[in-house]
Amino acid sequence: MEGIAFSPSNNFNCYPQIHPIKTLIPIPFRFCNYKTNNPNQSLLSFSINSSKTTQTPITQPPPLVVVGSANADIYVEIDRLPTEGETISAKNGQTLAGGKGANQATCGAKLSYPTYFVGQVGDDAHGKLITQALGNGGVRLEYLKNLGGGVPTGHAVVMLQSNGQNSIIIVGGANMSSWPDKLSDQDLDVVKNAGIVLLQREIPDSVNIQVAKAAKGAGVTVIMDAGGMDAPMPQELLKFVDIFSPNESELRRLTGMPTDNFEQISQAAAKCHKMGVKQVLVKLGAKGSALFIEGEEPITQPIIPAAQVVDTTGAGDTFTASFAVALVEGKSKRECLNFAAAAASLCVQVKGAIPSMPDRKSILNLLQSV
């Protein structure tokens, strides 16, 4: 794969240039206050003695590793959804990079946290669009595979209504095709050396199971976003998941229980606990979010109102990835929820999932103002 180099900016001042490599290489960073949730992980550290020319160790953070989908989002802006058999005209249309995995990886990188993306794109214009968007966002791309053989890049049709709400139809393409029966040692090595691994359901369950099992075996926290395919969640996958993160409708569909009020949502989360997941992070839209930890009182977080809702595409991915970054940095669960709520509030004010990803400074400024 070709290396990607980019000029550092205020938001990406901790990243060196990217060059082709086959294994995970330790990256020197300037900050040193990170904690890891992985007790088995050894971190290199460096410090600088001004009286000498050699460098000695300071702490570097374990990366966020996102394994998942990358889509070209084909936006059509409409006043309302068409009824059955009806044809309507769109006010505007454009194609932007997206996909739940790519969204979450870009969010992590935009927060100036070292982030790797493991995924697949086709050798086509959409694949080039996504690769460029991820690279420009600061995502490490050594594990992004470019498929040949005429396999198209995954894409989605996003029907964006004037109130900012959307309906989405996904075509899997490279996200669902040509994954190896057994992931390579290189792919699994980056997973095992992660601080947190983020998964979604826009790639085959068999891939997610391999990744989650490898992460769990290495003591790495696994967060599973429930978004993606409309199918039952495999029990084999759930047993390797530390935090399961659905929205209300996904929670209802996967548990077969109503989620019309908080009591019902709590009962549905309890069913997830019985299925083997100890922590359930539920995204509640306009009602905020809640973290249900087995045996503890739920932690609730109201929304942080947005000045204007332009596009809700990617808001859930922004929330989940921001929560993950705050968690791997050692923040409390309540702080993680608050940080994620602010990130989601900023995300919905910009059109397009990847273009809307907020940086850390903007999130902290918002939190100081509320």
79 included as an active-site residue: no
DSSP per-residue string spanning 224-244: EEEEE-SSPPPHHHHTT-SEE
356 is in an annotated binding site: yes
337 marked as part of a ligand binding site: no
Catalytic residue among 187, 205, 242, 317: 317
Question: Is 103 annotated in some ligand binding site?
Answer: yes
Q: Which long-range contacts (CB under 8 A, 24 or more apart) does 229-237 make?
A: 229/201, 229/202, 231/201, 231/205, 233/201, 233/275, 234/205, 234/209, 235/275, 235/276, 236/209, 237/205, 237/208, 237/209, 237/212
Please indicate if the annotation marks 295 as binding a ligand: no
Is 79 annotated for ligand binding?
no
Is 89 annotated as contributing to ligand binding? no
Residues 308, 309, 314: CA angle, nearest 5 degrees: 135
Residue 331, Cβ neighbours under 10 Å: how many? Answer: 16
Asked whether residue 242 is marked as a ligand-binding residue, the answer is no
The answer to whether 125 is a known ligand-binding residue is: no
> Is 101 annotated for ligand binding?
yes
Q: How far is CA 239 from CA 130, 157, 273, 278, 360, in A?
A: 32, 33, 10, 10, 33
Q: Is 287 annotated as a binding residue?
A: yes
3-state secondary structure of 16: coil
278 annotated as belonging to a binding site for a ligand: no
Q: Is residue 311 marked as binding?
A: yes
- Is 286 annotated as belonging to a binding site? yes
Pairing verdict, β 299-301 and 115-122: unpaired
Q: Judge whether 271 is annotated as a binding position.
A: no
Residues 6 or more apart whose CB falls under 8 angstroms from that of 94 comprise 74, 75
* Residue 113, Cβ density class (10 Å: 0-12 exposed, 13-18 middle, ≥19 buried): buried
Q: Per the structure block, which two tokens stand in for 257?
A: 């229980």
Token pair recorded at residue 37: 């949730």
Residues with catalytic roles: 317
For the annotated binding site for K(+), the residues are 311, 313, 347, 350, 352, 356
For the annotated binding site for ATP, the residues are 247, 283-288, 316-317
For the annotated binding site, the residues are 71-73, 99-103, 202, 247, 283-288, 311, 313, 316-317, 347, 350, 352, 356
For the annotated binding site for substrate, the residues are 71-73, 99-103, 202, 317
